[in-house]
Amino acid sequence: MKVFTEPAQLQKWAEGRRKAGKKIALVPTMGYLHEGHLSLIAAAKRKGADEIVVSIFVNPIQFGPKEDYARYPRDEKADLAKCRASGATAVFFPTPDNMYAKNHSVFIDEKQLGRTLCGARRPGHFRGVCTVVAKLFNLAKPHFAVFGQKDFQQQAIIRRMVRDLNFDVKIVVVPIVREPSGLAMSSRNTYLSAEDRPKALALSRALDELKRDVRREEELDWAPRRTQIVRGLRESGLNVDYVEAVDAETLSPVETLVRGNVVLLAVYCGGTRLIDNAVM
């Protein structure tokens, strides 16, 4: 497995692999890898990639000034071992300084899908995400890139970026990997205390109940359900950031919840921001 820290090294290698006719997959991550990340690597393998590049970069420009950039969990050694064991063929481990010139001044700003949900709560977040993903596309030269449904709005925005800017990269989206308890895996789960964990289960519980009810009743009037869910999450000890039901493609809010719509939740559990979602 190759390990690159310099953007130019990765780019040169990727160009060589392309010339040799190899199919390159990119798996962008912020590291502290868990089974969710590894399922993206497995999907890349399943889809026939010859080279699987995992990027591990806690991207400073997608964090707000009051967010957890400095304390975001990092474990380079464990991440490398997991990449090796799961079949990655290259890891890209850049530093912020070699990703961003001191006078870096070009950003990608998606103007529609990013106005709601996490985009509304985390100003500049998706601008940082789109910018770094575009850079990673230019460096790793992937034929396809793999993202998780866990960050539902993120994959929608990346797909829009690829369409609108004609990136020649196919986007593959992989289902959410959960702990046996139902909690969606996340690097940030490491922040949760023993008292926080049972509270956090209210997220997946609420989504499971909704899925069951949509299956049974075909249509649900969203407003009363939303009120009920907000109350349930609060009673479980969570601080609600948002509870929204949207169209899966446009991310516009729906009034009647039907199959194929997506329900997205964001809460604070202790000091930790958790997100979860489910396609009905």
Catalytic residue (one of 34, 37, 104, 125): 37
Site for ligand AMP in 183-212 (CB under 6 A): 184-187
In a 13 Å sphere around the CA of 240, the CA atoms on its Cβ side amount to 19
Of the two residues 33 and 220, which places its CB atom closer to ligand AMP in the complex?
33
The footprint of ligand AMP on this chain (CB under 6 A) covers a number of residues equal to 17
Q: Which amino acid is at 135?
A: K
Please say if 37 is a catalytic residue: yes
H/E element, 227:
helix 222-235
> Which pair of structure tokens corresponds to residue 70?
């400095």
The gap from C-alpha 24 to its chain's centroid, in whole angstroms, comes to: 20
Binder of ligand AMP out of 26, 54, 134, 177 (CB under 6 A):
177
Determine which residue in the list 10, 36, 52, 63 makes contact with ligand AMP, applying CB under 6 A: 36
As given in the structure block, the two tokens for residue 77 are 């050694």
Of 40, 136, 172, 275, the one binding ligand AMP by CB under 6 A: 40
- Give me the least distance between CB of 153 and ligand AMP, in Å please: 10
Among 174, 245, 257, 280, contact with ligand AMP (rule: CB under 6 A): 174
Scanning 76-84, 180-188, 246-254, 262-270 for contacts with ligand AMP by CB under 6 A, the matching segment is: 180-188
Q: Give long-range contacts, CB 8 A cutoff, 24+ apart: 13-20.
A: 13/90, 14/51, 14/53, 14/139, 14/140, 14/141, 14/142, 15/141, 17/50, 17/51, 17/141, 18/141
Which of 171, 258 has the CB closer to ligand AMP?
171
Q: How far apart are CA 189 and CA 67, in angstroms?
A: 15
Query: The tokens 């940082």 sit on which residue?
Result: 128
Q: Which stretch binds ligand AMP (CB under 6 A): 30-38, 83-91, 162-170, 214-222?
A: 30-38
| Calpha distance 100→134 (Å, rounded) | 13
Residues in contact with ligand AMP by CB under 6 A are 29-30, 36-37, 39-40, 147-148, 150-151, 174, 176-177, 184-187
- Residues marked as catalytic: 37
